[in-house]
Amino acid sequence: MKVPVHKIVGDACMTYKDGERLQCEFREAFDRGGTVELDFDKTRIFVTVFFSAAVGSLLENYSRDELARRLKIINLPLAAKELLDHSLDNADRYYHDPNLWEVTVSN
């Protein structure tokens, strides 16, 4: 399934809500085991929180390896790719790092 990001959120990928809207467009196909191609052609403004909602939240139910195999990202500028990677790193820690939530109590 190919998803033209620009047609869903316009040229600015900035808000969490826009990221959720994008994920709603492809989530059913992804959950069925399909491959999804997100095409960022004609988009030009990017914020990490957008990527957290659009892609990072998938790590709650899928591994990073599975995302790499089944979620193809095309026409994303290098600077935006860095934001996407940062968002995925944070989501991976949030969903899978047991030490992140460990609380220590000292006397």
Residues 72 and 38: beta-carbon distance below 8 Å: yes
The label of the residue with tokens 């193809």 reads 72
pLDDT one digit per residue (tens) for the chain, 107 residues: 999 999 999 999 999 999 999 999 999 999 999 999 999 999 999 999 999 999 999 999 999 999 999 999 999 999 999 999 999 999 999 888 877 665 555 55
Cα–Cα distance measured from residue 93 to residue 85, given in angstroms and rounded to the nearest whole number: 12
The label of the residue with tokens 């709603």 reads 24
Q: Which residues pair with 72 in a beta bridge?
A: 37
Predicted model pTM: 0.88
19 exposed, middle or buried (CB, 10 Å; 0-12, 13-18, 19+)? buried
For 45-103, what is the HEC assignment?
EECHHHHHHHCHHHHHCCCHHHHHHHEEEECCCHHHHHHHHHHHHHHHHHHHCHHHHCC
The label of the residue with tokens 């914020």 reads 47
